[in-house]
């Protein structure tokens, strides 16, 4: 990535095309015409949510957001931009790694019990508006859920046919810190198409480039013109300016080492005094993947089902082994979550488990901020007398 312009190598190599709102409308229609179920952001119930789109008119044109620790509000934007609204409460894992999946059902037929697998085929998703942090989060979940010896068939079935339209961020929220995690605001690899939205005196338009063979085909079908230099430069400048306006930053240190070296820090007691162990942070996090199973029966006892549902390491039952939970205290559960995200995730999966989207900060009911906690641990580790000198 060019650190001055925020431009990826792929984007720099592809001059791309420029389209207006009519092109966005055509993009949704073309994707639907190819059999995709198009999902993208829309303004609903006071938030930018991800939902199935029947037309591009449902995109959140003219809506921005104000996001802070424990606070999220929509606000109108006079420029009419569609994607200047940062990450909302949902991420794409809602579609790729759903909150509830029926694994099998069983019916009593006479003296027999007949088991049936759930063979419902998932839609072919087209994700419109995948931000750079979320593009990286999908790559993280790819590694976790299908990148090893044990492949998650549910995820694989949903992920394998998905078409991804990324969007580069030009308007970070106050809780974003993708720059310090190296995940944005320019889009990295993994997209079929990538958009950068520009609204200036020359009008409202989208610079669109391809990252795959199917992306090439769709790009050629769009009502778009070759990208002009002014639009490309305005787009690059918008992304570069976004990189300068991150609301949050992680301490500039090796976070993996920081987590490993601060397990006994008093800060864990401090955050435990504030954390409600509600698990919101894990539900909204685009990389958290833990699940549990629930068995249910109907009232006759003739029909039973097993469901896989999202679970949270903040739940006492999550680490319950015979006789009690392994992590009984709030301190141990918050520390487990944060040290896994920023530290031991590297050991397991070769990357950070945090992509800097800021969702856990926004949707924490008491405004606990992972960057603030990391900074406090960093301060403590620097002020701690060295073991040599002790």
The residues binding ligand SF4 (CB under 6 A) are 275-281, 284-287, 314, 341, 354-360, 364-366, 368, 370
DSSP one-letter code for 227 = P
Q: Tell the smallest beta-carbon distance from residue 287 to ligand SF4 (Å).
A: 5
Looking at the Cβ atoms of 18 and 284, the one nearer to ligand SF4 is 284
CB-CB neighbours of 357 under 10 Å: 30
Q: Tell the smallest beta-carbon distance from residue 150 to ligand SF4 (Å).
A: 23
Helix (H) or strand (E) holding 109: strand 100-109
Looking at the Cβ atoms of 32 and 278, the one nearer to ligand SF4 is 278
Strands (E), the chain: 17-19, 37-44, 47-52, 63-68, 71-76, 100-109, 112-117, 125-131, 163-167, 193-200, 203-210, 225-226, 291-297, 303-310, 320-321, 324-325
Q: Tell the smallest beta-carbon distance from residue 203 to ligand SF4 (Å).
A: 34
Q: Tell the smallest beta-carbon distance from residue 91 to ligand SF4 (Å).
A: 8
**At CA 51, angle to CA 46 and CA 52, rounded to 5?**
145
Q: Tell the smallest beta-carbon distance from residue 235 to ligand SF4 (Å).
A: 25
DSSP one-letter code for 340 = I
Looking at the Cβ atoms of 306 and 340, the one nearer to ligand SF4 is 340
Looking at the Cβ atoms of 170 and 312, the one nearer to ligand SF4 is 312
- Cα separation, 52 vs 41, in Å, equals 9
Query: CA 251, 252, 258, 262 torsion: positive or negative?
Result: negative
Q: Tell the smallest beta-carbon distance from residue 365 to ligand SF4 (Å).
A: 6
Q: Tell the smallest beta-carbon distance from residue 274 to ligand SF4 (Å).
A: 7
- Cα separation, 68 vs 66, in Å, equals 7
97 and 289 in contact (C-beta within 8 Å)?
Answer: yes
Looking at the Cβ atoms of 116 and 348, the one nearer to ligand SF4 is 348
Biggest distance spanned by C-alpha atoms of the chain: 76
Of 260, 41, 4, the closest CA to residue 134 belongs to 41
Q: How many helices (H) and strands (E) does the chain have?
A: 15, 16
- How are beta strands 203-210 and 17-19 bridged, if at all? antiparallel
Looking at the Cβ atoms of 126 and 176, the one nearer to ligand SF4 is 176
Q: Tell the smallest beta-carbon distance from residue 304 to ligand SF4 (Å).
A: 32
Looking at the Cβ atoms of 148 and 365, the one nearer to ligand SF4 is 365
- Cα separation, 131 vs 185, in Å, equals 8
Looking at the Cβ atoms of 128 and 360, the one nearer to ligand SF4 is 360
């Amino acid at each position: 990535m060019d650190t001055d312009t925020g431009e990826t190598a792929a984007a720099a190599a592809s001059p791309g095309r420029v389209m207006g709102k009519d092109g966005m409308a055509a993009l949704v229609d073309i994707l639907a015409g190819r059999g995709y179920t198009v999902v993208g952001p829309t303004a609903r119930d006071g938030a930018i949510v991800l939902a199935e789109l029947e037309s591009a008119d449902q995109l959140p044109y003219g809506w921005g957001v104000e996001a802070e620790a424990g606070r999220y509000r929509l606000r109108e934007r006079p420029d009419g931009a569609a994607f200047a609204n940062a990450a909302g409460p949902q991420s794409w894992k809602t579609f790729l790694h759903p909150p509830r999946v029926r694994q099998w059902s069983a019916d009593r037929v006479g003296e027999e019990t007949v088991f049936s697998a759930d063979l419902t085929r998932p839609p072919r998703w087209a994700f419109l508006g995948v931000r750079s942090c979320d593009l990286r989060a999908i790559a993280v979940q790819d590694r976790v859920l299908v990148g090893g010896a044990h492949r998650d068939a549910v995820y694989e079935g949903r992920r394998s046919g998905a078409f991804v339209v990324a969007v580069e961020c030009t308007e970070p929220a106050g809780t974003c810190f993708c720059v310090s995690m190296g995940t944005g605001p320019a889009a990295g690899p993994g997209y079929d198409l990538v958009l950068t939205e520009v609204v200036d005196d020359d009008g409202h338009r989208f610079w669109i480039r391809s990252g795959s063979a199917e992306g090439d085909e769709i790009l050629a079908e769009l009502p778009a013109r070759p990208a002009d230099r002014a639009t490309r430069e305005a787009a690059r400048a918008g992304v570069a300016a976004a990189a300068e306006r991150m609301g949050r930053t992680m301490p500039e240190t090796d976070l993996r080492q920081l987590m490993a070296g601060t397990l006994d820090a008093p800060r864990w007691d401090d955050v435990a005094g504030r954390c409600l162990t509600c698990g919101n942070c894990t539900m909204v996090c685009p990389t958290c993947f833990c699940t549990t199973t629930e068995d249910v029966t109907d009232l006759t006892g003739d029909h039973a089902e097993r469901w896989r549902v999202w679970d949270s390491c903040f739940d006492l039952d999550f680490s319950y082994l015979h006789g009690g939970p392994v992590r009984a205290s709030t301190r141990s559960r918050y520390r487990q979550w944060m040290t896994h995200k920023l530290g031991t995730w590297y050991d397991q999966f070769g990357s950070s488990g945090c992509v800097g989207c800021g969702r856990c900060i926004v949707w924490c009911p008491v405004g606990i901020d992972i960057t603030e906690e990391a900074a406090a641990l960093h301060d403590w580790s620097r002020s701690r007398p060295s073991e040599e000198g002790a």
